Structure 1
Amino acid sequence: MDNPLTPEVLADPVTLTRVLVDIESVSRNEKELAGYVEEVLRKVPHLSVSRLGNTVMARTDLGRDQRIVLAGHLDTVPINNNFPSELRGDLIYGCGTSDMKSGVAYALHLAVMVPNPRYDVTYFFYEAEEIESRYNGLFLVSEAHPEWLDADFAVLLEPTHGVVEAGCQGTMRSLVSTLGRRAHSARSWHGVNAIHGASEVLRRLNEYQARTVTIDGCAYREGMNAVRISGGVAGNVVPDRCDIEVNFRFAPDRTVAEAETHLREVFAGFDVVITDSAAGALPGLGAEPAREFLAAVGEAPIGKLGWTDVARFAAMGIPALNFGPGDPNLAHHPDEHVEISKVRDGAATLHRWLAA
């Protein structure tokens, strides 16, 4: 099949968004799209291109004083009766329109159309962001070629509805367990019901007062919630164990260790096992490219409520922001869509910022 990413398509970020959406790339199935992207970028004279798995990296080497990263993931969540794309007025509907092929369109458009940027630029088109971290293209690059990630500033083209979302929350998952003693339910007084014991865990969660923290003018609201409960042995047995899965979203002023200490304090007296955690990212607004980017956007940033790959850059000491045309509230939604006007406005903003 001929590459659908023709010069005419690459020149228009709106048309490019639709074409990208119409190339199915559910996580672990990015090979076709990555191949098209690689083929196009290898023909661009001002870029050098490398590939790791289904992650494509392209970079300029113009001798600029600073280097920035523009990054977007190629994969989407599974299709849900929303493929291929559909145009309705000012809206493009389809899987990945918001999260985040409209953002990928920005990076691909700029990589081809801006041969002389004011900074050296590294573009990442990476795989498997929507699934387990071990498959994530940026993670795999950090393990195999960390030098590819070297930069002074990074922009993740995640959906933000056209505003700058700075940094991100950290996240922690844990199992809070209650223990009891099994007995026949006909003689329940001989046992201790672990599911009933979970009521104290739920009470603490209901009464939990979450912080809102403001950092560099950006507000980060924390949250601690039960997201799953499991327990029970059989229909006639008093259960001896109940596990409550708790997700703690914490502001980036807490380290992972501090978040764990706090969570254990909240559930003092219960068995707590941390099953997964990822640090947040501070806003990172002080870097010179970040200040110039904010000036190009012309609006004050807000805090990112959620975890994104900006945290990977923050862990390396690289300030990073989120900026993309899609509405994050539509990510993974069957009616996912993006506004054409947002795509055009954001592309113009990035071009204004990058063009020398």
Structure 2
Amino acid sequence: MLTPEILADPVQLTRALVDVESVSGNEAELADQVEAALRAAPHLTVERHGNVVLAGTRLGRPQRVILAGHLDTVPVADNVPSVVEGDVIHGCGTSDMKSGVALALHLAATVADPRYDVTYVFYDCEEVESERNGLNRLARTHPHLLAADFAILLEPTYGLVEAGCQGTLRARVTAVGQRAHSARSWLGINAIHAAGEIMTRLAAYEPRTVTIDGCTYREGLNAVRVSGGIAGNVIPDECQVEVNYRFAPDRTEDEAAAHVRDLFTGFAVEITDSAPAAAPGLSGPIVKELLDAVGQPPQAKLGWTDVARFATLGVPALNFGPGDPNLAHKRDERVEIPKIVAGAGVLRRWLSA
């Protein structure tokens, strides 16, 4: 149970959240506890949609901001419950992103009179396929609940502001041949050999580096899976190379797809998955006030996050959280206690100034 004493301390709260196992699809117990804690706060209006819990102030402020975080984690790897060693909390989700969720829940419970109206969003299934993502589901069915002037996604950024995000696209590039018996290989055309040209183009590819609003995004296009072959005595007639393209926010999904198709002219290209990039979203006084509170310049988010969903809704959004993104999903995932304390202080100053 998330008691007032636990809610008042973001470090204790991080541990309490980690200790409730919430692998994607199993968030109900944690959502129940979050909902109960929020309903106990008289200054908040709370509603729930599945395992998405929302709470908001209704103070009549001229601007509204969102603090959002996902409740789920990747599968546990013998790292629940949490363990504290010195100034470090070890455990599944400590970095990605229960320490960030703890900041939002702590502020929701303890900041009753923020200078902006605030919507707090705690959602499920971020770590799995997009159609299960609770924020995606809410954006489709109740987009008005996500209306705001600005949003912060509390993904791990190690206490820095990471602006926007890369887009991501996956495609299947297929080389075709002609099947034959391997003892008479000259009667066939080996599709795996033909796929060598796909690899040659990838090896020669020079990814762009794009700077937008002072944030530098490094693109990448890489083979991530190769499949082909029928049997040990058959010349294969098909070989597929799955590629992943991470693209900068100056390209749309359609432009990214066209770029991949152009690169692999002569091969069949099937786009299997795509998600848009998000622009840095650094303009406006709300963002300036946040950057002033952080005290360090923003940098580009090298990866995809749900800030792109907010951008699609017309809500500028940034990533900011205490965890180290390089530790996300690791067996020895951990978060530094001073980062939790500092992050809570930054957001409290920003909301209360």
Q: TM-score, normalised by structure 2?
A: 0.99
Give the match for residue 58 of structure 1. 55
Candidates 290, 310, 313, aligned match of 2:310: 313
- Counterpart Cα distance in 2 of 1:162 and 1:297: 8
Give the match for residue 295 of structure 2. 298
Task: Give 1:343's aligned amino acid.
Answer: I
Task: Give 1:87's aligned amino acid.
Answer: V
SS of equivalent to 2:195: helix
- Counterpart Cα distance in 2 of 1:8 and 1:35: 18
Deviations 1:17-71 (A, max 9, x none): 0010000000000000000010111111110000000010000010001000000
Give the match for residue 227 of structure 1. 224
1:241 aligns with 2:234: no
Q: CA deviation at 1:287?
A: 2.4
Give the alignment of 1:63-78 within 5 angstroms: 63-78=60-75
Q: CA deviation at 1:89?
A: 0.9
Give the match for residue 113 of structure 1. 110
Task: Give 1:75's aligned amino acid.
Answer: D
- Counterpart Cα distance in 2 of 1:348 and 1:167: 23
Q: TM-score, normalised by structure 1?
A: 0.98
Conserved in 2, the CA contact under 8 Å of 1:178 and 1:270? yes
Any stretches of 5+ residues in structure 2 without a counterpart? Answer: none
1:322 aligns with 2:316: no
1:151 aligns with 2:148: yes
Task: Give 2:10's aligned amino acid.
Answer: P
Any stretches of 5+ residues in structure 1 without a counterpart? Answer: none
Q: Percent identity?
A: 66
1:258 aligns with 2:248: no
Give the match for residue 198 of structure 1. 195
- Number of aligned pairs? 353
1:212 aligns with 2:209: yes
1:185 aligns with 2:182: yes
Conserved in 2, the CA contact under 8 Å of 1:167 and 1:283? yes
Candidates 26, 36, 40, aligned match of 1:39: 36
Conserved in 2, the CA contact under 8 Å of 1:178 and 1:271? yes
Q: CA deviation at 1:82?
A: 1.1
Task: Give 1:313's aligned amino acid.
Answer: F
Task: Give 1:328's aligned amino acid.
Answer: P
Deviations 1:220-258 (A, max 9, x none): 000000000000111100000000000000001000111
Give the match for residue 24 of structure 2. 27
Conserved in 2, the CA contact under 8 Å of 1:38 and 1:49? yes
Candidates 130, 134, 146, aligned match of 1:133: 130
Give the match for residue 171 of structure 2. 174
Q: CA deviation at 1:140?
A: 1.2
SS of equivalent to 1:69: strand
Conserved in 2, the CA contact under 8 Å of 1:229 and 1:242? yes
Q: CA deviation at 1:81?
A: 1.4
- Counterpart Cα distance in 2 of 1:345 and 1:156: 17
Give the match for residue 88 of structure 1. 85
- Counterpart Cα distance in 2 of 1:16 and 1:287: 32
Deviations 1:63-121 (A, max 9, x none): 00100000000000000111111111111000000000000000000001100001000
Conserved in 2, the CA contact under 8 Å of 1:153 and 1:287? no
- Counterpart Cα distance in 2 of 1:162 and 1:208: 34
Conserved in 2, the CA contact under 8 Å of 1:287 and 1:319? no
SS of equivalent to 1:28: coil
Give the match for residue 79 of structure 1. 76
- Counterpart Cα distance in 1 of 2:339 and 2:132: 30
SS of equivalent to 1:248: strand
Task: Give 1:21's aligned amino acid.
Answer: V
Give the match for residue 100 of structure 2. 103
- Counterpart Cα distance in 2 of 1:34 and 1:287: 33
Q: CA deviation at 1:288?
A: 2.0
- Counterpart Cα distance in 2 of 1:219 and 1:305: 9
